Structure 1
Amino acid sequence: MHVAFVSFETLEHRETETNRRFRDVVEGHRDGGHDVHVFCAQFWAGEASVHEREDITYHAVSSGLEARSSFLLRLPFVLASARPDIIHANARPPGQVIAANWGSRLARCPFVLEWYGDDGVAEDRVTRWATSQPDRIVTPSELVGTWVQEIGAETEQVTPIPNQIDIERIRNVSPAEQIEVVYARRLDEGANLESLLLALAEIRQRGWKAVVIGDGPERGRYEGLASDLRIDDRVRFAGELPREERIAVYRGAHVFAQTAERCVFPTEMLWALASGCVGIVEYHADSSAHELVEGWDRGFRTTSEQELTNAIIDAGDLEYRDYDDRFATFDRSAVSDRYLELYRTLQDQSGVL
């Protein structure tokens, strides 16, 4: 299948959750043997308008990020001339949604919008208008789907498809030392690590070890809190770790605790659950993490520090695992298949063969 991906800004321009998710989707289709083209602002050196990289073809619709107007004006005609089977666009900026929609009309093909939502969902007039353009809007969770519906998208227009993980990669990494609790996230103002530290302090008399993975502006404050609570000798702040080292920690840990106040999709938690961890989620209105553990016998949803403490204790009664095949449905190939199924459904509905 010939898929045209549209993203004015790419991961090469800026590292964001949205750009990482979009790259993962692109690479998933490439790995599935599809003809993948990305239409974006130029990020490579030289005057060539087409750039081949890792079996992905990039097209410079504008000379750089400073030429947004040129990008939006040219995009519909560039897409039409490419004659793709599907056009799949990033939701930000909203102007490119409207331009990509015109491109889909000229190319006479379905239009899918990827709406990740890590920077929120704006409620301005252009964004509201953008929700009416695509044939389908893909979100990472039901939470983000609700946000998009609140600004005008129809319920049947929204399809949640989760972030992906690599099951084979997990199984190829040996577990690190066994510990009781692991937490992983950027340590910023939304991390809410204090909830976990306070819960652990309540059971300091029990034999446990915990690891905190991640760095950020609040790390010093959290390290100070662990010291004040007299658990700093039991909590190791590991900082940023590469993926293999994170997997090793997850495979050695018994519990993954998710307490962040805002999370459009709990990717690190998913890696940990597939690595055998019991999942404990502190519920927050702007976090979708609870969606991963609902109806699962190795998952706990808590709403207070006392419930969090009790969940850590109760989790101790569950068996230790270093892999859980329940989460194979989140593997890269399985997630890519869900996109492909969506594309084919839209093609059938539109009469495109």
Structure 2
Amino acid sequence: MRVAFVSMHTHHTRDTPGIRRRTRLIQLLSRTDHEVVVLCSRWWDGDHPTFEQDGISYRAVDGDFSTNRFVAKLPLAIRRADPDVVHMPNTPARHARAAKAVCRLLRVPLVVDWWAVDDGDSDNDCRRVASKADRIIAPSQTVETVVREYGAAESTISVIPEGLDFSVIESAPVNDEFDLVYSRRLDSHANAETFLLALAELRDRDWSAAIIGNGDAASDIERTARDLRIRDRVSFLGELGNQQRVAVLKGAHVFAQTAEQEPFATNLLWGLACGCVGIAEYQTDSAAHELIEEKSRLAATRGELVSTPQEFADEIVAAGSLEQRTIDPAYERYDYSSIVDRYLTCYRQAIDNYGLL
């Protein structure tokens, strides 16, 4: 199977959760017997139209990162790639609409990986993408609901969650320096303040906490810890390598999930797989509850959903009665090998269904 990934930006030029998700998939597929080509704006030096890096072939649609030029040149780029299936993000929606037009002409299915709606996408564009894509992949039931509200048929949607490298969890050492941990990009949606307020309620108890990640909101979050007079007990670790981060998660007892926007709570997934008790604050635009609610969580999962800092503090105390774990083997089902198989199944369904039309 030949899969063409279409995206003006790659991880070389922009860092977003959706791009990281797509990059992992591209890397995983490139290690299989299937062929991968990435159609993007030229991010490499020189004006040569193709570039290969780490076994992945990149082809320049344009060299200016211009939406208008990218859309104008995309039909020819897809035709030259001669794919069996086209995979692209839902945003920018104009790109997906342009890709659908040429895919229809070439009789190639378009698979849209829907993560979140960009501010520049109109409701009308989103409705067209949702209703016209041959298959849509959502990372969670929460996002699936959003896509259906935009008009996608339930039969066209596949829910494929984020994954993890379970071998890293198995092999990583244990850093037991911290009892509680928060891990996420510290941006305007991080909402780590809820976690800190809960810790402040427990300042008379014995605990240590770590916040992993960096971002524009890092200094504000650290200031909040100082204002709450708990800064000396909260370590801000910044960005950590995979092994270091997993070591901290394996040593911690509680993983705190409070972010306001999470199409899929990837960091919470890693924390649960590392044996943590997951405590998540309910947020309207977060899918974190799907990992720890009774109706959807794995049987071995330990966690609770809360609504206030006081409830959060109460659940931290309650978690103290649970045994310490460094790994939860039930989460091996989220290993990247299983996730890539689910993508391939989705591609095959899209190709088979297209042949029936």
Q: Which residue of 2 aligns with 1:81?
A: 80
Q: Distance in 2 between matches of 1:155 and 1:123?
A: 22
CA positional deviation for 1:76: 2.1
Q: Label 1:158 to 1:198 Cα distance change in 2 as closer, same or farther (>3 A).
A: same
Q: Which residue of 1 aligns with 2:274?
A: 275
Q: Distance in 2 between matches of 1:202 and 1:145?
A: 37
TM-score, normalised with respect to structure 2? 0.92
Q: What secondary structure, in the 3-state scheme, does the structure 2 residue paired with 1:14 have?
A: coil
CA positional deviation for 1:215: 2.6
The runs of 4+ residues in structure 1 deviating greater than 6 Å are none
Q: Distance in 2 between matches of 1:219 and 1:79?
A: 41
Conservation of the 8 A alpha-carbon contact between 1:123 and 1:151: no
The one-letter amino acid of 1:131's match is A
Q: Distance in 1 between matches of 2:79 and 2:219?
A: 52
Q: What secondary structure, in the 3-state scheme, does the structure 1 residue paired with 2:232 have?
A: coil
2:114 equivalent to 1:115: yes
2:356 equivalent to 1:323: no
Q: Which residue of 2 aligns with 1:302?
A: 306
Conservation of the 8 A alpha-carbon contact between 2:175 and 2:248: yes
Q: Distance in 2 between matches of 1:271 and 1:119?
A: 26
CA positional deviation for 1:118: 6.7
The one-letter amino acid of 1:335's match is I
Conservation of the 8 A alpha-carbon contact between 2:37 and 2:81: no
TM-score, normalised with respect to structure 1? 0.93
Q: Which residue of 2 aligns with 1:53?
A: 53
Q: Which residue of 1 aligns with 2:201?
A: 202
Q: What secondary structure, in the 3-state scheme, does the structure 1 residue paired with 2:247 have?
A: helix
Q: Which residue of 2 aligns with 1:129?
A: 128
CA positional deviation for 1:339: 0.4
- Bigger CA drift: 136-145 or 222-231? 222-231
Q: Which residue of 1 aligns with 2:262?
A: 263
Q: Distance in 2 between matches of 1:89 and 1:222?
A: 35
Q: Distance in 2 between matches of 1:136 and 1:163?
A: 18
Q: Which residue of 2 aligns with 1:36?
A: 36
Q: What secondary structure, in the 3-state scheme, does the structure 2 residue paired with 1:26 have?
A: helix
CA positional deviation for 1:283: 0.4
Per-residue CA deviation, residues 241-297 of structure 1 (Å, 9 max, x unaligned), is 222211111011011010112222211111211111111100010111111112244
2:343 equivalent to 1:344: no
Q: Label 1:96 to 1:209 Cα distance change in 2 as closer, same or farther (>3 A).
A: same
Q: Distance in 1 between matches of 2:250 and 2:74?
A: 45
Conservation of the 8 A alpha-carbon contact between 1:199 and 1:306: yes
Q: Which residue of 2 aligns with 1:333?
A: 337
Q: Which residue of 2 aligns with 1:224?
A: 223
- Bigger CA drift: 275-284 or 109-118? 109-118
The one-letter amino acid of 1:319's match is E
Conservation of the 8 A alpha-carbon contact between 1:276 and 1:322: yes
Conservation of the 8 A alpha-carbon contact between 1:98 and 1:130: yes
Q: Distance in 1 between matches of 2:121 and 2:68?
A: 20
Q: What secondary structure, in the 3-state scheme, does the structure 1 residue paired with 2:127 have?
A: helix
Q: What secondary structure, in the 3-state scheme, does the structure 2 residue paired with 1:8 have?
A: coil
Conservation of the 8 A alpha-carbon contact between 2:107 and 2:354: no
Conservation of the 8 A alpha-carbon contact between 1:42 and 1:61: yes
Q: Which residue of 2 aligns with 1:245?
A: 244
**Percent sequence identity over aligned pairs:** 42
Q: Distance in 2 between matches of 1:10 and 1:82?
A: 18
2:211 equivalent to 1:212: yes
- Bigger CA drift: 309-318 or 185-194? 185-194
CA positional deviation for 1:173: 1.3
Conservation of the 8 A alpha-carbon contact between 2:88 and 2:113: yes
Runs (5+) with no aligned partner, structure 1: none
Q: What secondary structure, in the 3-state scheme, does the structure 1 residue paired with 2:39 have?
A: strand
CA positional deviation for 1:135: 0.8
Tell me the matched-pair count: 351
- Bigger CA drift: 211-220 or 289-298? 211-220
Q: Distance in 2 between matches of 1:286 and 1:148?
A: 13
Q: What secondary structure, in the 3-state scheme, does the structure 2 residue paired with 1:179 have?
A: coil
Q: Which residue of 1 aligns with 2:315?
A: 311
Runs (5+) with no aligned partner, structure 2: none
Q: Distance in 2 between matches of 1:74 and 1:344?
A: 27
CA positional deviation for 1:178: 4.4
Conservation of the 8 A alpha-carbon contact between 2:85 and 2:108: yes
Q: Distance in 2 between matches of 1:188 and 1:40?
A: 27
Conservation of the 8 A alpha-carbon contact between 1:40 and 1:59: yes
Q: Distance in 1 between matches of 2:318 and 2:117?
A: 32
Q: Distance in 2 between matches of 1:124 and 1:350?
A: 27
